[in-house]
Amino acid sequence: MKRTVTLLSSLALAAGLAACSNGPSSAPRQAAPATTSPGASASPWTSASPADPNLPEVNAQGDIPDNQQYVAYVPATKGFSVKVPEGWARTTSPASATFTDKLNGIRVDVGSRPTAPTPASLRAEVAALGATAHHFSAGPVKTESRKAGSTVVAFYRADAAADPVTGKVVNDDIERYQFWKNGTLVTLTLSGPHGADNVDPWRIVTDSFRWTA
C-alpha cells in the first residue's frame, strides 16, 4: 500500500511539471507576417514589420515621413514630368537633376538610346558602376509596370559619398529605373541608407513619371 501511494504521488508531481512546462508563459511566440502597402513591391533589401497605429510615428535613419508632400519636376523641352519630395535641395545640369534631403537622394538623368533598355543591358550598366563603387552588392534586375508603362529596374547597394563635415560614410540601398520612348531614355536613381523603409515614397515617385511629349 505504501508503494502504491508513493507511485501515485510521483505520477501527480510529473503531471504537474508537464502542465507548467506547456503553459502559456513558455509557449513559443509566432512572428507576425511582414506587410507592405497595397500595390507596392517591397525592396529586396527591406524587411518590413507591422507598426502599432496607436503609437506616434518614429522614423528610422533615412525613412521618409509618411506626411511628405510631393511636387512635379518638369524640365523644359525634355518631354516628361516626375514628382519629387517637396523641399528637397535641387542641383541641375543640362542633362540631369539631383534632389537630396539628409541621407536620401533622387537623381534624374536624360539621354538617348536607339532601342529600349532590357534587364540584360541594365545589369551590365550597374556592373560597370559597381566596378568603381565601394562595398557594392548587386541585387535583382527585372521588368516592372508603372503608370507610364513598362520600366526596367535594378536593385543594388553601394557606399554613398562621405559626409563633407563628419566624413561618415553610409551604405545605401539603390533602385535604378529606366523609362524609354522614341529614343529618349530617362533614368531615375533613388538612394537611401540600407534598411530604411522607403518602399511607399519610391513607389510614389516612380508611379508619377509621365511622358508629356
CATH 3.40.1000.10 fits 80-211, yes or no: yes
Task: Reduce the secondary structure of the chain to three states and give it as a string.
Answer: CHHHHHHHHHHHHHHHHHHHHCCHHHCCCCCCCCCCCCCCCCCCCCCCCCCCCCCCCCCCCCCCCCCCCEEEECCCCCCEEEEEECCCEEEEECCEEEEEECCEEEEEEEEECCCCCCHHHHHHHHHHHHCCCCCCEEEEEEEEEECCEEEEEEEEEEECCCCCCCCCCCEEEEEEEEEEECCEEEEEEEEEECCCCCHHHHHHHHHHCEECC
pLDDT at residue 50 tops 80: no
Predicted confidence band at 24 (pLDDT cuts at 50, 70, 90)?
very low
Contact status, residue 170 vs residue 104, Cβ threshold 8 Å: no
Task: Give the model confidence (pLDDT) of 149-161 as tens digits.
Answer: 999 999 999 999 9
206 vs 146: CA distance, rounded Å? 7
Q: What angle do CA 96, 100, 101 make, to 5 degrees?
A: 170
Task: Give the model confidence (pLDDT) of 61-85 as tens digits.
Answer: 789 999 999 999 999 889 999 999 9
What pLDDT score does 32 carry?
39
